[in-house]
A and B are shown apart, each in its own frame.
Chain A
Amino acid sequence: GQNIDQPTEMTATEGAIVQINCTYQTSGFNGLFWYQQHAGEAPTFLSYNVLDGLEEKGRFSSFLSRSKGYSYLLLKELQMKDSASYLCAVSDSNYQLIWGAGTKLIIKP
C-alpha cells in the first residue's frame, strides 16, 4: 500500500529552527510537495522536490532523499505566524498526490 508518515505534532520556540520529517512508501515517485495549512483554511504550496538535495526558499528549505524515501522541511527564524499544519504529499506513478496526515506545529513565545 501507499503510505506517508509524519509526526502528528511538534512544538518549537519563536526565533528557533525546526525540522519536520516525512517518510514515504508509494507506487512510483514523481515528486514531493510540502503545503502549509492554517487552522480552518485551505492548504497553500510551500515547496516541491523531485531530485535529491536541498531546495531553499527564504526561511523555508526542503530536502529529499529518494533512495531513503525521506524528506524534511526546515523552518528557520520561527515566527508566531508559522503556527500551522504542514502537509507532506507525494506524486505517485499516476501523478496523483498521496497526502500525509500533517504535522501540527505549535510555536511558543
Chain B
Amino acid sequence: NAGVTQTPKFRILKIGQSMTLQCAQDMNHNYMYWYRQDPGMGLKLIYYSVGAGITDKGEVPNGYNVSRSTTEDFPLRLELAAPSQTSVYFCASSYSEGGREQYFGPGTRLTVT
C-alpha cells in the first residue's frame, strides 16, 4: 500500500495564479482531510470529506475548494493565490472519525510570491 500520496511536493505560484493539489489514498478510507501548517501554529483544517460526493468546510476554507468524486481522490483547488496561502499543505485520511488515527501524506510546500 502506498498510503496517502500528494503531488506536487513543492510549488511556487505567482499572486493570482490557480492550482490543484492532488491527494490520493489506497486504504479505502471514507474520511479525508486537508490541513495547512504554518510555522509556530497548529495544523488548521481547511476542508474535509466523509465519503464520495460529500465535503464540508473546516476552520479556514476561504480561498480553497475541494471535490470528492471517488473514495480515493480528494483534490484541493486554490483559486487566485495570495501570499497568505504560503504554507505546507497536508492531506490525511482515516477509517472513521472519532478515535481513529489519521494517516498523513508527505505534504506540499507552496510559496506564493
Chain A residues at the B interface, C-beta cutoff of 8 Å: 4, 8, 30-31, 33, 41-45, 48, 50, 87, 89, 91, 95-102
Contact = CB atoms under 8 A, between A and B. Distances in A.
29 contacts: A8-B40, A30-B99, A31-B98, A31-B99, A33-B101, A41-B106, A41-B107, A42-B106, A42-B107, A43-B90, A44-B104, A45-B101, A45-B102, A48-B99, A50-B99, A87-B43, A89-B43, A91-B97, A91-B98, A91-B99, A96-B45, A96-B58, A97-B43, A97-B102, A98-B42, A99-B43, A99-B44, A100-B42, A101-B40
Contacts of A8: 40
Interface of B is mostly: loop
Contact of B104 (A31, A43, A98, A99): A43
B106 A96 contact: no
Contacts of A99: 42-44
A91 B48 CA distance: 14
B68 to A, nearest CB: 17
